[in-house]
Amino acid sequence: MKAVRFHEYGELEVPIARSYPLESVQDAFRELERGHTHGKIVLRP
């Protein structure tokens, strides 16, 4: 089972700091470079 399924069923908690559309990948990397995120940065289609 994929990790996403575990998350959907509440069996896995992954803190998400922010979600970006794929075309904003540069903005996502800039945020990561600042180093102040509390959670994962997610790129979505």
Could you report the per-residue pLDDT of 2-22, keeping only the tens digit for each?
A: 777 887 788 888 889 999 999
DSSP conformation letters of 15-44: -EEEEEEGGGHHHHHHHHHHT--SSEEEEE
Q: Give pTM, 2 decimals.
A: 0.67
How far, CA to CA in Å, does 15 sit from each of 23, 38, 40, 41? Answer: 22, 7, 6, 9
Share of the chain above pLDDT 90, in %: 53
Higher pLDDT, 37 or 26: 26
Using the predicted structure, report yes or no on whether residue 36 has a pLDDT greater than 90. Answer: no
Residue 8: predicted pLDDT:
78
